[in-house]
Every structure is written in structure tokens, then in C-alpha cells.
Amino acid sequence: FLGLSYYLTTVTHHDTVPLLTRNSWNMGADTYNPLLPSSDWGWQIDPVGLRIALRRYADKYPHLPLMILENGIGHLDQLTADGKIHDPYRSEYLAAHLQQVAAAIEDGVPVIGYFVWSPIDIISSSTCEMQKRYGLIYVDQDDYGQGSQQRIRKDSFIWYQQFISQHRREKTN
């Protein structure tokens, strides 16, 4: 299989890249698409871009099934007075991306797996901070390692659990 991670799309303006330069994902010359929303860290949210990427990979590597190894959104999640993390933005992000995965499968793309990034809050490798939270499970820890380290299921955890339960495919022999 071919594994891929997907978080965002960017656009490159024709004036910012020399004509013969290959476009690499370094975000140096990339700009924002004004028609797309962005996360707290400025990453563009583009579920349709995932479907386009899946179709392009399927066209380029027709003999390989595809597996999405990482897909998620970093956000400033806050523990509320009720001791919970209400993160509808994460559930909405995942739902929109999973809808596009389903559409790609209907298009004939052989997607064999999808993994949300991340099951649990971890230190962000892109920013080296804990406040950028990707997980479905909140970890009570700040950027300096302070906190109880208690784990709390976010609302998105419950949503994803229900989504999996509703969309599980039974194996048939």
C-alpha cells in the first residue's frame, strides 16, 4: 500500500516561483487560499483537497491501495468548568474529511485505511508545544510539563467512537 499524511492545501502564485522550479512542500513560496478557513495555526482546512490527493495518487500508482496514516487538526483546546473539552471543530473537520474519503472510494480509489492524528494529545513536532492539540483525548499538561497528566475524552472522541460504530464494515466470508 501507499501511505500518506494529509492536513492542508496551499496555493502558489505564479509570480512567487520561477517557471522551471518544481513545487516541493516547504510552504516557503506558498500562500493562502482566501476561500478556505484556517486553523488556529493558519493551516488551511480543505477536505476536498484530500479527495483530489487520493485520486491523484490512485492515478499515479494504480497498482497500490492507499492508506491515510495521519489526518487531523491542531487547536487550542480548553478544559471547561464542567471538566470536559468541547471541540466541535475537530468533529466537523473529521466528518468533512471522512465524507471526502467516502466520495473518493465511490470514485474508485482503493482506500484501505484511515487513521486520525492523533488519538491522544502529544507535543507537536511542528511547534514543540503542548498547546497545539491534535488528540481525541486531552492530556492535562502545558508547554512546560506542568499539570496532572490526567487523560480526558474530548467530545470528538465520543463522536469518532460513534462514527466508527455506525460505519463499521462486517467481514464476510
pLDDT at res. 72:
95
pLDDT at res. 45:
95
2-167 has which CATH code? 3.20.20.80
Among the listed residues 4, 18, 11, the one whose alpha carbon sits nearest the alpha carbon of residue 50: 4
- Segments in the chain below pLDDT 50: 19-26, 170-173
pLDDT at res. 163:
95
pLDDT at res. 172:
38
122-169 pLDDT per residue, tens:
888 777 888 999 999 999 999 898 999 999 999 999 999 999 999 876
pLDDT at res. 102:
97
pLDDT at res. 91:
98
pLDDT at res. 30:
61
Residues 6+ apart with CB under 8 A from 131: 76, 142, 143
CB atoms within 10 A of CB 119: 14
pLDDT at res. 101:
98
Domain ranges of the chain: 2-167
Q: Could you tell me the end-to-end alpha-carbon distance of the chain, in angstroms, rounded to an integer?
A: 23
Residue 30: its H or E element: strand 30-31
